[in-house]
Structure 1
């Protein structure tokens, strides 16, 4: 996909990404989306997103004031990275450190059949509209309640997948269906079971669910530092849409 169609897909994914993990406090300022969430360290809910079309550097003062009033570092999500070279350079000049380079991957769902792996026996995966255990296993220490509150704020239709039994979960994942797109997030596999097909089974159930609901495209975000996850998603037909990274203000 190239040209205007690619631009529109990137724009739609970024809008859906913001709705898939809604911050506690959200403010629009000079085209920026400013987000803050107390008692939760996840970058998604505590970062500023620049205007999609560029020209973002002139709004930086308001961005910095928003976070400094809250006593938190300024965290800018430079996304899509290839559309914000000027902003990224300005942040670097101000001493903002780059972190968490991430790929946004997409897969077309129309006409796809999601079969299991021929290499491994895959486990049973159940789907639920809500799963309190998902937050327990994916949230940072002391942040379970904040993550559950964030889940309660998600407006689009959401589903949670769990592999294994409630007393012995093997893996988790979640999906949000929004504007014809299926967003995949919150993937987790028990440390002792990684590489055994658990994540593949969870992902397949989520993709099946999205396909049944009429999703045309699936998207997800994966950090470049996770080669095993990247390999899984590529086997499932995901390819690069765009990239992003964060810039954190100096101490």
Structure 2
């Protein structure tokens, strides 16, 4: 299996972390946020989900920098799978993809969008002493309704999001801050062994800047630490400057980055 050195540089100027660390978080992410259908083409992981359009649930994820044979043919096979699901062909390019695939996509004019950070925080350093003891919701339907509201998403996504949450195999804590029946903020904390991943973090647009995001994250981290988690991690788009600032203020540090690619002319929304 080919690897890249810790000081290697990705095509867009970022240092490559140890690939073992990347593999750990990538594998945890796939388990914590499961796609409805999973296929492998060599070590390319193809994830597709008919009920939800999220990019990370509908993407090709190359997992070995050395697996670069027959790139064009394999892209064609992936394209047919995506077409069958009515999804735009999308590659999610992490450090595990290596430079050869990125160079091929560049040569074909594929766009680059949604660069994201994977961040981590040792829970011994998390300021959870100030956190409220919050019991996670047991009612998936109630959580899904709150999550869709604070994200400003269409209610037609309710069945798909419910299916994703119901399929999470590790222990998942569903957190929602509500006031007078109105959702203010939500988060999902997926606890697996000594690792806890945070997903679906959001604050209602009208309630931002009032500390609700910080409160719900710390409650989720406190819950995870009490269950034996030692390390928290999350993913966030670089352009979400407010969220990045909050996570850094809580002590999260960047581990690596990934981005998405689509063929020339394809929408990148």
TM-score normalized with structure 1 length: 0.87
- Residue among 126, 129, 142 paired with 1:133: 142
Using a 3 Å threshold, how does the CA distance of structure 1 residues 59 and 22 change in structure 2: closer, same or farther? farther
Superposed CA offset, 1:5-31 (max 9, x none):
943222110000011111111011111
Q: What residue in structure 1 maps to residue 95 of structure 2?
A: 80
8 Å CA contact 1:175–1:184 kept in 2: the answer is yes
How many residues matched? 243
Q: How does 1:9-24 map to 2 (within 5 A)?
A: 9-24=21-36
Q: How does 1:204-219 map to 2 (within 5 A)?
A: 204-219=218-233
Deviation at 1:80, TM superposition (A): 2.5
Using a 3 Å threshold, how does the CA distance of structure 1 residues 189 and 135 change in structure 2: closer, same or farther? same
Using a 3 Å threshold, how does the CA distance of structure 1 residues 230 and 112 change in structure 2: closer, same or farther? closer
Distance 1:180 1:36 in 2: 28
8 Å CA contact 2:187–2:199 kept in 1: the answer is yes
Distance 1:133 1:17 in 2: 24
Q: How does 1:1-251 map to 2 (within 5 A)?
A: 6-56=18-68, 58-71=70-83, 72-80=87-95, 84-110=98-124, 112-116=126-130, 125-139=134-148, 140-141=153-154, 142-165=156-179, 167-250=181-264, 251=266
Q: CA RMSD in A?
A: 2.4
Distance 1:218 1:55 in 2: 30
8 Å CA contact 1:123–1:198 kept in 2: the answer is no
Using a 3 Å threshold, how does the CA distance of structure 1 residues 123 and 143 change in structure 2: closer, same or farther? same
Which range is displaced more, 176-185 or 133-142? 133-142
Gaps of 5+ in 2: 1-5, 8-16
Q: Relative contact order, CA 8 A, sep 6+: which one is greater?
A: 1
Superposed CA offset, 1:135-170 (max 9, x none):
234443221111111111111110011112472111
Distance 2:202 2:102 in 1: 31
Gaps of 5+ in 1: 117-121
Distance 2:255 2:81 in 1: 35
Distance 1:189 1:112 in 2: 20
Report the secondary structure of 2:255's partner residue.
Answer: strand
Report the secondary structure of 2:229's partner residue.
Answer: coil
Deviation at 1:92, TM superposition (A): 1.7
Distance 1:6 1:125 in 2: 35
Report the secondary structure of 1:19's partner residue.
Answer: helix
Deviation at 1:179, TM superposition (A): 3.8
Distance 1:54 1:238 in 2: 31
Report the secondary structure of 2:175's partner residue.
Answer: strand
Using a 3 Å threshold, how does the CA distance of structure 1 residues 150 and 243 change in structure 2: closer, same or farther? same
Using a 3 Å threshold, how does the CA distance of structure 1 residues 170 and 90 change in structure 2: closer, same or farther? same
